[in-house]
Amino acid sequence: MLDSNVTDKLRSIVGSEHYKDDSEALVTHSYDATPMLQSLPDGVIYPSSKDEVSAILQLANEHKIPIVGRGAGSNLCGGTVPVHGGIVMVMNRMNKLIEIDTDNLTATFQPGLNTKEFHAAVERKGLFYPPDPSSMVISTLGGNIMECAGGLRGLKYGTTKDYVIGLEAVLPSGAVIRTGGKLYKDVAGYDLTKLLVGSEGTLAIITEATVKLLPAPRYKKTMLAMYKDIYAAASTVSRIVGSRIIPATLEFIDNPTLRVVEEFNRIGLPLEMEAVLLIEQDGMDEESVDRDIESIMRICREEKAEEVKVARSAEEADKLMKARRSALSTLARISPTTILEDATVPRSRIAEMVLEINRIARKYNVQICTFGHAGDGNLHPTCTTDARNPDEIHRVEQAFEEIFEAAIGLGGTITGEHGVGIVKAPYLEWKVGAPGIELMKGIKMAFDPNGIMNPGKIFAKASRKRLVIQR
Amino acid sequence: MLDSNVTDKLRSIVGSEHYKDDSEALVTHSYDATPMLQSLPDGVIYPSSKDEVSAILQLANEHKIPIVGRGAGSNLCGGTVPVHGGIVMVMNRMNKLIEIDTDNLTATFQPGLNTKEFHAAVERKGLFYPPDPSSMVISTLGGNIMECAGGLRGLKYGTTKDYVIGLEAVLPSGAVIRTGGKLYKDVAGYDLTKLLVGSEGTLAIITEATVKLLPAPRYKKTMLAMYKDIYAAASTVSRIVGSRIIPATLEFIDNPTLRVVEEFNRIGLPLEMEAVLLIEQDGMDEESVDRDIESIMRICREEKAEEVKVARSAEEADKLMKARRSALSTLARISPTTILEDATVPRSRIAEMVLEINRIARKYNVQICTFGHAGDGNLHPTCTTDARNPDEIHRVEQAFEEIFEAAIGLGGTITGEHGVGIVKAPYLEWKVGAPGIELMKGIKMAFDPNGIMNPGKIFAKASRKRLVIQR
């Protein structure tokens, strides 16, 4: 509970209708898209400007009140669950698209802007912003930046980090910094821009961002390759990239995922296949896109695909991509609890990783579907389970722990695009080592000496134990 | 002077032939490619492994001895001048290309590897590593990483930062960290990889790096557009990119640079022109490269280019690019002292920046040639002067100070690709503000609490004064 002296000040900063602490507001901001995590905040605030953000942070810093920045709450690592209480700062009033600069190929916006809406605005100018997290219909760009969102186009186009070139951010002290700019080259000191991207709200609140844009590709083509042998599908991925072809999208969908997606979408996916690759190439020239797709089809056949087919129309291609993007929400319909993970390996180890996931699922007798961005080694093993069954949940936790271990053993990482948050914090040391954790804590201290920024995230109290927090 | 107890230990770590403190070694490591900066180290050491690096750093840390990492010493910001004495650590024995991984499209190498040699090895595999600083014939990849080297292809392909995805680095404590990996997506904690790139040797010594590679473009075409009006040349740059065409290279060369380059290369550059754009496009398809070049030629003519011509052969194209790359060394021949700067502005402000540079040169009565990477807004105003003329040098310093101010006023930065080092340190606050400097100092503290890593760089004792150090 916050002191009424503090809440009065908060109300005076944003106007009393923009600070809420009724139970409805608190409950709806006690969780995010991550299953089995819930913790009530003490208040929810909706600032409308960087000056308001600055005043709020100064006050919170003075009183050592936790501040949890929040976009749409679509993250999957517990990143916006206020585990230490405090104030959830919702950025949705700061949702302005400030500028699309067609001379410099940049866009500047406030953090609360919806990702999909931004994509549409950029595309209307013949331009292209590649990062496309599957949550983009609801997610905000600020959330994407804080989690360094990836998506289906990471292999060819990179992730959020590769596009953010300038930020305005408010430090816990209330000081406002500006990093980078409309600059394709800038080496003036340490790169605070890239450091803030993916910092999960633990360092500062961003209030404005500038991103690079690309000319929009003029053509694209979408295809499916279907396999009875999971290993053949996975090894196709290495063969394609080894042949010097970088598709825009190269997605892997296993049989259990396929069945569920087909059941709810009815788009004619082949239920008897063990794995499907969904592949898209784009480019400025029809001929080069066609040539790449033909080469890919030949490789798929050489790698023993049962069937290879190209989408006959833009509508069919669109349906396929939408079905893939809906995999998580579709899987969520078939079980009370759906836990989606994010293990990532070097692309050449995809086949081994898929086999490991399946072995581990059998070992712990849990149901794991696997789909994901095979082209960049980023798999989403997804467990359909039931939080009310503690015995099964315990086995699920053990299975995921072993999956993270396997990923790291294959030269991979515990999280490719979802972030550390609460969920991966106990495993971070496995990836970055004790000295890596110490450096990160030192960086945190430089930004946030009082530890008010999203406390309880990234850094775990103890390693090697999967946490389920229900405050 | 180091204690003999320390030097004995250093000799025992690397073998006595790999530690030098004779006056020849000290003098040859007292300067780098930056004019007018010199300072003697106390010793020069040549480690051969990360274990040796670790032992040296531990010892230096214990005795608070400065450590200045050094590749080829080709930097232009005084980055490897040992202004506080101490030990220069030359990485040229650690120059192994460890692996080119064609499945994952990555390469892994030690920091002392020569940039040009690496390019050649990568190209033999049909792959491509875009960062191409003009110093690449002599520079090392470790130096490129520490300075975040750019080059002629930044507009389309980005800079060193966009390619480094994994590092092994030794901290001042002697602890070894590994960041990232062969991973296109990795959000496990703060991005230490990107933080180390461009950290100018002030945080850690890198001992191994993994970079992304691209499939090599199959075609390229090179052209020249010549202008009597500088402003028309500069506005062509905006028009090209505004037309959704991103050339691989888009270089600007002004008349004074042109004259000098032609005098020493004799490649038929038109001496009566005020400015020349050197443009290269590459791609996987001949048709698309041709189409882009044709569109660019049309734009150049619309923007009142006097003459537009395409290189008739690969040799001719190569000659043009080499002439451009040699601009600095050529200018260096015509005057006792050549000071090359690095001001960078948003691409759309290039024309204004060129006019500002010329105005400032006239105001201070100094000779400034300007060339650079117009496509990414990164200009290199270069002053041909004489360090023995203190009055002129004073005016040169005033002129550059005003140029940095103008760049920042246009939304730009004090350094696009050369780094802060000693030369830009007094101006860093202009770009990042006092809170930005404080954050950077906090980050430095997290890595290097005793301040032994390349002291005197990035952070100035006082702002707003151009430093010339002669110890």
Structure confidence at residue B463 (pLDDT) = 62
Work out the average pLDDT over A272-283.
95
Rounded percentage of chain B residues whose pLDDT exceeds 90: 86
Minimal CA separation from A273 to chain B, in Å: 26
* Residue A104 with chain B: CB contacts under 8 Å: 241, 346-348
Work out the average pLDDT over B336-343.
91
Of residues A322 and A81, more confidence is placed in A81
pLDDT range class, residue A449, cuts 50, 70, 90: very high
Asked if B233 and B275 touch (Cβ cutoff 8 Å), the reply is yes
Q: How far apart are CA B159 and CA B153, in angstroms?
A: 8
- Torsion, Cα of A430, A434, A438, A440 (10° steps): -20
Asked if A318 and A220 touch (Cβ cutoff 8 Å), the reply is no
Q: What is the pLDDT of residues B157-179, one digit of tens each?
A: 999 999 999 999 999 999 999 99
Q: How far apart are CA B131 and CA B149, in angstroms?
A: 7
Q: Judge whether residue B467 has pLDDT over 60.
A: no
3-state secondary structure B145-169: HHHCCCECCHHHHCCHHHCEEEEEE
User: Chain B within 8 Å of A199 (Cβ-Cβ)?
Assistant: yes
**Helix (H/G/I), strand (E/B), else coil: B463:** coil
Give the type of residue at A376.
Answer: D
A324-353: burial string, b at 16+ Cβ within 10 Å, e else? bbbbbebbbeebebbbbbbbbbbbbbbbeb
Question: What's the mean pLDDT when you consider all of chain A?
Answer: 94
Most confident of A247-256, A448-457, B311-320: A448-457
Residue in B with minimal Cα distance to A447:
B439
Q: Which residues pair with A307 in a beta bridge?
A: A226
Structure confidence at residue B267 (pLDDT) = 84
Strand residue runs (E) in B59-204: 67-70, 87-90, 97-101, 106-109, 127-128, 164-170, 176-180
Structure confidence at residue B124 (pLDDT) = 97
User: Chain B within 8 Å of A420 (Cβ-Cβ)?
Assistant: yes
* Residue A186 with chain B: CB contacts under 8 Å: 344, 413, 415-416
Rounded percentage of chain A residues whose pLDDT exceeds 70: 98
Q: Judge whether residue B469 has pLDDT over 50.
A: no
Q: What is the pLDDT of residues A375-420, one digit of tens each?
A: 999 999 999 999 999 999 999 999 999 999 999 999 999 999 999 9
* Residue A105 with chain B: CB contacts under 8 Å: 241, 246
Minimal CA separation from A235 to chain B, in Å: 10
pLDDT range class, residue A113, cuts 50, 70, 90: very high
- Which CA distances in Å does B416 have to A214, B148, B149, B151, B412? 21, 9, 9, 10, 9
Q: How many CB pairs under 8 A join A and B?
A: 274
Work out the average pLDDT over A146-171.
96
Asked if A442's CB is within 8 angstroms of B177's CB, the reply is: no
Of residues A113 and B241, more confidence is placed in A113
Q: Judge whether residue A120 has pLDDT over 90.
A: yes
Residues near A132 by Cβ (< 8 Å), separated by ≥ 6? A115, A119, A151, A152, A153
Asked if A343 and A416 touch (Cβ cutoff 8 Å), the reply is yes
Asked if A432's CB is within 8 angstroms of B189's CB, the reply is: yes
Q: What is the pLDDT of residues B59-86, one digit of tens each?
A: 999 999 999 999 999 999 999 999 999 9
Residue-range domains of chain B with CATH: 4-90 (3.30.43.10), 101-215 (3.30.465.10), 219-322 (3.30.70.3450), 335-447 (3.30.70.2740)
Residues near A169 by Cβ (< 8 Å), separated by ≥ 6? A176, A177, A179, A196, A203, A204, A205, A206, A207
DSSP assignment of B29-58 equals TS--SSTT-B---SEEE---SHHHHHHHHH
Asked if B432's CB is within 8 angstroms of A188's CB, the reply is: yes
User: Chain A within 8 Å of B98 (Cβ-Cβ)?
Assistant: no
Minimal CA separation from B343 to chain A, in Å: 9
Structure tokens at A242: 């080894």
Asked if B428's CB is within 8 angstroms of A188's CB, the reply is: yes
Q: What is the pLDDT of residues B195-230, one digit of tens each?
A: 999 999 999 999 999 999 999 999 999 999 999 998
State the alpha helices, DSSP H only, in B243-285. 255-265
User: Chain A within 8 Å of B390 (Cβ-Cβ)?
Assistant: no
Of A171, A199, A443, which is closest to B443 when you measure between CB atoms?
A: A443
Nearest to B198 by CA among B167, B225, B227: B167
Asked if A242's CB is within 8 angstroms of B102's CB, the reply is: yes
* Residue B244 with chain A: CB contacts under 8 Å: 126-127, 215-216
Residue in B with minimal Cα distance to A100:
B242
Q: What is the pLDDT of residues A39-89, one digit of tens each?
A: 999 999 999 999 999 999 999 999 999 999 999 999 999 999 999 999 999
Asked if B378 and B360 touch (Cβ cutoff 8 Å), the reply is no
Q: What is the spatial order of strands in the sheet that B368-373 belongs to?
A: B307-310, B219-227, B275-283, B249-254, B368-373, B378-385, B337-340
Q: Judge whether residue A282 has pLDDT over 70.
A: yes
Asked if A160 and A196 touch (Cβ cutoff 8 Å), the reply is no
Structure confidence at residue A328 (pLDDT) = 85
Question: What's the mean pLDDT when you consider all of chain B?
Answer: 94
Of residues A323 and A466, more confidence is placed in A323
Minimal CA separation from A100 to chain B, in Å: 12
Q: Judge whether residue B468 has pLDDT over 80.
A: no
Structure confidence at residue A227 (pLDDT) = 96
Asked if B199 and B41 touch (Cβ cutoff 8 Å), the reply is no
A79-89: burial string, b at 16+ Cβ within 10 Å, e else? bbbbbbbbbbb
Weakest-pLDDT range from A17-31, A197-211, B66-80, B262-276: B262-276
How many CB atoms neighbour CB B17 within 10 A? 8
The number of helix segments (H) and strand segments (E) in chain B equals: 15, 18
Work out the average pLDDT over A16-23.
97
Q: What is the pLDDT of residues B101-150, one digit of tens each?
A: 999 999 999 999 999 999 999 999 999 999 999 999 999 999 999 999 99
If phi > 0 it is left, if psi is from -120 to 50 it is alpha, else beta; for residue A244 that is left
Asked if B437's CB is within 8 angstroms of A189's CB, the reply is: yes
Of A150, A241, A287, which is closest to B105 when you measure between CB atoms?
A: A241
Q: How far apart are CA A238 and CA B103, in angstroms?
A: 6
Asked if B437 and B49 touch (Cβ cutoff 8 Å), the reply is no
User: Chain A within 8 Å of B408 (Cβ-Cβ)?
Assistant: no
Q: Which of residues 239-298 of A touch B (CB under 8 A)?
A: 241-242, 244-246, 284-285, 287-288
Minimal CA separation from A120 to chain B, in Å: 17
pLDDT range class, residue B470, cuts 50, 70, 90: very low
Q: What is the ipTM score, two decimals?
A: 0.95
Asked if A416's CB is within 8 angstroms of B183's CB, the reply is: yes
Asked if A1 and A43 touch (Cβ cutoff 8 Å), the reply is no
Q: What is the spatial order of strands in the sheet that A43-45 belongs to?
A: A19-20, A43-45, A87-90, A67-70
Per DSSP bridges, beta strands A67-70 and A87-90 are parallel
Q: Judge whether residue A173 has pLDDT over 60.
A: yes
